[in-house]
Structure 1
Amino acid sequence: MLMETHPNLSVCKLKHEKLASREVVASNSKMIEVVASMARGPVFLTGELLECLITFTNPMSHLSTSASSEMLAWASAQIHCQFHASESRVALPSQGNKQDVQAESDTVLIPSRGERGQCILDTPPKILFCDLRLDPGESKTYSYSEVVPSDGPPSFRGQAVKYVYKLTIGCQRVNSPIKLLRVPFRVLVLHGMSEPHFLQDEEVAPSNPFLDEEEGSSNRRDGSLLEKALDMLMATTSRRSPHLFNITNSRGKVAKFCIFKSVYRIGEDIIGTFTFSEGEIPCLQYSVSLQSEEEVNSMYQRKPAPPLSVTSHGRHLESCLHTASSHFSLPIPLNVTPGFSTDIITLRWRLHFEFVTSREPVESPTVLQNQSEVTIWTGADHVDVDTFSWDLPIKVLPTNPALAAYVSQFTGTNSINI
């Protein structure tokens, strides 16, 4: 039996012409249940192996005693990434009036049929089977595996663009349209996995004395990419190098700020401290916001739309008058997209600070040492203030896909009746 990996899977005729002459048109009560499930979860790193179990079942009918065998001509699966751009923000190059002639045919496998935007990345389709017959109550499970392309963008739903990944399973009965089962999943991108300085770590890894040299070398080369990625993430985000900043305005020094590192994983807490006792200008209030900047690259900007979109993902607000020191902790949500860059957009991260300072000195309340009466201190009715802001860039990297799967909007499982 010859099976070709080709988008036009209707060429998988085999014995279908003979079968078609004998095939009885299925009634509405006949169907095959198809269930696809990603056992490890719906989040993957680029370059990682995606595995999915696809089960085909001919359910036993309890309403009819004339249950019969069901036949599928073929089934295949492939990964694809859909790209969608906001027409009000992004000006894409003209595609001309080219049309896909095959797109009008419902017997040609086009994984992105009916999807918004355009397919910018896909893997070759893999045929799961040809000519599958299932008796009543019988089911068969097939395993699909494919490496998530390492040259693609991460999953992202921004204000200007969207990148959405899906695993699409195409199934077809004889002389019937193709049915598509889609399982969406999330992709994280970790840059630097192929850099020489990281790959050299394998050469100094301890070897297994029970394997011969050639086999041991092969196992080290084929080691888990996920383990390498997690080691790289841990090494990169565990380095602590405190950064000190003097916060000043036009009138003088307000405070000293300390942050312990500038590179974080999604899911981590960003911790910073303020020392106001060293300031000359009274600070009444400060706020810190975790923000992402989505910038459309200049050649794709739609004028007069703003090229930069800012989204806040958390905020800490605190009153700090007469406070010697203070700190904040901002968690990075697990469902956000780490920083990345494509030809069209760049996503960056920053901490946005806002300070409210007094123009005049504010005397602190005094309490006499031997005072026995209760003293109530109230703030001034009117205070002349200045406000100013400051942005501190930070880097946000991915995390363990299994951890990100806990908050994923996807389940990694989907089903369809054919």
Structure 2
Amino acid sequence: MIELSAKLTTGTVYLAGEAIECCISFCYTAQPEHRNSQSHSDTLENLAWASAQFHCFYSTSGAQGDKTPILGKTTSLEVAACDVGDAVFHSKPKILFCDLTIPLGETKTFWYRESLPIEAPPSYRGTSVKYSYKITIATQKVGSHIKMVRIPFRVLPISPIINMQDLAALCGNETTEELHPTNPFSEERKVETPLTMALQVLQNLTARRSPNSYMITNTRGKVGRFCMFKSAYKLGEDIVGTFDFSVGTVTCMQVSVSLQPEEVLKTKSPPKNVNKETSSRSMTVARYHEVTLGLTQSQLILPIPLHITPAFEVDDVSLQWRLHFEFVTTNEKLVPNPEDKDWNAPLNVPIETMVWNLPVKIYSTLPKEIMHHTVGTDAYTLNIK
């Protein structure tokens, strides 16, 4: 029996444009019932071939099979029945070996390395559409069926941050400096790539502080003032803001803030039961709630989960993020007089609820930041008999 072992050596999370790397091993081990009855012919095993490639799968909540491949060429590795959706693009299959002989007890190791397209859609599990990625490793013994193992991995978007074509042009222009005499005593300058420059832009965008203040009002007057210190965040960061109710003329009893995605479909033929022009559905991924009666100041701290998908836009769907505010207000003066020792809270209070949506930009973070806080499987095995 041959055991196929595959492990992602660079983790399970990647930015679009990065290279994935997988270590693939084939080990010939004797089955326990055959260890004492080995013949000379059983000391060698043969595999006809093995290949590796990655797929991006697309599916909708209403129907499947309505997409055609947009990248990559025809591959001999068909989509398995267990895979949900259609493969919208894939890399070219890379042949790991042909006609491999493995002696008993030995292991043969191969490496698969492939770069993801910079324009690739991110891994995304939305309410209407889904994108997922898997590495497909296939092999076959002579006279046997093809065996395949799928290794899922996650892709984060990078292209919406800046025009990647402009970055590529900037990187290409830097080669002109090589025509000038170089100093043999100076350190070699690192060559910038579109991906590294995009990461620098990402860092600058999310590190920049730009406080914005908003006066919150309803039909009866001022509720308060909200201040947010910046509008661009990375996955894993905290959205921080402050409420100032001392400027309000209307009593705010409680406030809740929810981080919600806004998914908009742009396909000409959307799934059934989905609005054709715009399909924006909201769900809460993080929530802040506080009773603010009697408070003049309050602070908002809302962690951004690492598992969500940052903002992105492709041909079929776009994803943005917003803060959804709900203020419960009343015109009653419920704050007791400090001199009144016998004050009791009223049994019934007339209230009004007002809502407000504030767009917020959420970008990718470095994959290693996500892998440090998540538990996942990066190794898979397959027995070939």
- TM-score band by shorter chain is 0.7 to 0.9
- Structure 2 unaligned segments of length 5 or more: list them: 69-73
The residue type equivalent to 2:141 in the other structure is R
* Contact 1:42-1:408 at 8 Å conserved across structures: no
Task: Say what the alpha-carbon RMSD is for the aligned residues.
Answer: 2.9
In structure 2, the residue corresponding to 1:74 is in which secondary structure?
Answer: strand
For residue 138 of structure 1, what is the aligned residue in structure 2?
A: 106
The residue type equivalent to 1:116 in the other structure is V
For residue 284 of structure 1, what is the aligned residue in structure 2?
A: 253
Q: Measure how far apart 1:151 and its partner are.
A: 2.4
2:141 aligned to 173, 178, 197, which one? 173
* Contact 1:109-1:170 at 8 Å conserved across structures: no
1:357 aligned to 316, 329, 334, which one? 329
In structure 2, the residue corresponding to 1:270 is in which secondary structure?
Answer: strand
In structure 2, the residue corresponding to 1:323 is in which secondary structure?
Answer: coil
Alignment of 1:360-379 (within 5 A): 360-367=332-339, 375=341, 377-379=343-345
**Is it true that 1:159 corresponds to 2:127 in the alignment?**
yes
2:312 aligned to 340, 343, 368, which one? 340
Q: Deviations over 1:85-105 (max 9, x none)?
A: 1117x9957x8xxxxxx9xxx
Q: Measure how far apart 1:199 and its partner are.
A: 6.9
Q: Deviations over 1:241-264 (max 9, x none)?
A: 101100000011110110011111
Inter-CA distance 259–184: structure 2 relative to 1 (3 Å threshold): same
For residue 390 of structure 1, what is the aligned residue in structure 2?
A: 356
For residue 124 of structure 1, what is the aligned residue in structure 2?
A: 92
1:77 aligned to 52, 58, 68, which one? 52
1:413 aligned to 361, 365, 379, which one? 379
**Is it true that 1:35 corresponds to 2:12 in the alignment?**
no
The residue type equivalent to 1:166 in the other structure is K
Inter-CA distance 58–312: structure 2 relative to 1 (3 Å threshold): same
In structure 1, the residue corresponding to 2:205 is in which secondary structure?
Answer: helix
Q: Measure how far apart 1:363 and its partner are.
A: 4.0
Q: Deviations over 1:13-33 (max 9, x none)?
A: xxxxxxxxxxxxxxxxxx210
Inter-CA distance 254–91: structure 2 relative to 1 (3 Å threshold): farther
TM-score, normalised via structure 2 length: 0.86
In structure 1, the residue corresponding to 2:203 is in which secondary structure?
Answer: helix
For residue 5 of structure 1, what is the aligned residue in structure 2?
A: none
For residue 191 of structure 2, what is the aligned residue in structure 1?
A: 220
**Is it true that 1:110 corresponds to 2:68 in the alignment?**
no
Higher alpha-carbon deviation: 74-83 or 148-157 = 148-157
* Contact 1:92-1:300 at 8 Å conserved across structures: no
Q: Measure how far apart 1:302 and its partner are.
A: 4.2
Alignment of 1:291-302 (within 5 A): 291-297=260-266, 299-302=268-271
Aligned length: 363
Q: How many Å separate the matches in 2 of 1:416 and 1:376?
A: 75
Q: How many Å separate the matches in 2 of 1:395 and 1:72?
A: 50
Inter-CA distance 357–267: structure 2 relative to 1 (3 Å threshold): same
In structure 2, the residue corresponding to 1:335 is in which secondary structure?
Answer: coil
Higher alpha-carbon deviation: 346-355 or 230-239 = 230-239
Higher alpha-carbon deviation: 302-311 or 389-398 = 302-311
Q: How many Å separate the matches in 2 of 1:382 and 1:178?
A: 71
In structure 2, the residue corresponding to 1:308 is in which secondary structure?
Answer: coil
**Is it true that 1:322 corresponds to 2:294 in the alignment?**
yes
For residue 221 of structure 2, what is the aligned residue in structure 1?
A: 252
What is the percentage of aligned positions where both structures have the same residue? 39
* Contact 1:37-1:53 at 8 Å conserved across structures: yes
1:194 aligned to 152, 164, 183, which one? 164
Q: Measure how far apart 1:41 and its partner are.
A: 0.7
Q: Measure how far apart 1:212 and its partner are.
A: 9.0
Q: Deviations over 1:342-393 (max 9, x none)?
A: 222221100000001112333433138xxxxxx4643211111111100000
**Is it true that 1:272 corresponds to 2:244 in the alignment?**
no
Q: How many Å separate the matches in 1 of 2:106 and 2:197?
A: 41
Q: How many Å separate the matches in 2 of 1:413 and 1:173?
A: 22
* Contact 1:335-1:407 at 8 Å conserved across structures: no
For residue 211 of structure 2, what is the aligned residue in structure 1?
A: 242
Inter-CA distance 209–49: structure 2 relative to 1 (3 Å threshold): farther
* Contact 1:184-1:410 at 8 Å conserved across structures: no
Q: How many Å separate the matches in 2 of 1:122 and 1:61?
A: 36
In structure 2, the residue corresponding to 1:381 is in which secondary structure?
Answer: coil
Q: How many Å separate the matches in 1 of 2:375 and 2:130?
A: 15
The residue type equivalent to 2:285 in the other structure is H
In structure 2, the residue corresponding to 1:354 is in which secondary structure?
Answer: strand
Q: How many Å separate the matches in 2 of 1:170 and 1:322?
A: 66
Q: Deviations over 1:188-214 (max 9, x none)?
A: 11122625369748959x99955899x
Q: Deviations over 1:275-301 (max 9, x none)?
A: 000011111111001111122226233
Q: Deviations over 1:313-333 (max 9, x none)?
A: 111111111211101100000
The residue type equivalent to 2:150 in the other structure is R
In structure 1, the residue corresponding to 2:268 is in which secondary structure?
Answer: helix
Inter-CA distance 377–301: structure 2 relative to 1 (3 Å threshold): farther
Q: How many Å separate the matches in 2 of 1:152 and 1:195?
A: 14
In structure 1, the residue corresponding to 2:191 is in which secondary structure?
Answer: helix
Q: Deviations over 1:3-56 (max 9, x none)?
A: xxxxxxxxxxxxxxxxxxxxxxxxxxxx21011111121001111111111011
Inter-CA distance 347–317: structure 2 relative to 1 (3 Å threshold): same
Q: How many Å separate the matches in 1 of 2:320 and 2:13?
A: 21
The residue type equivalent to 1:179 in the other structure is K
Q: How many Å separate the matches in 1 of 2:299 and 2:216?
A: 15
* Contact 2:267-2:317 at 8 Å conserved across structures: no
In structure 2, the residue corresponding to 1:280 is in which secondary structure?
Answer: coil
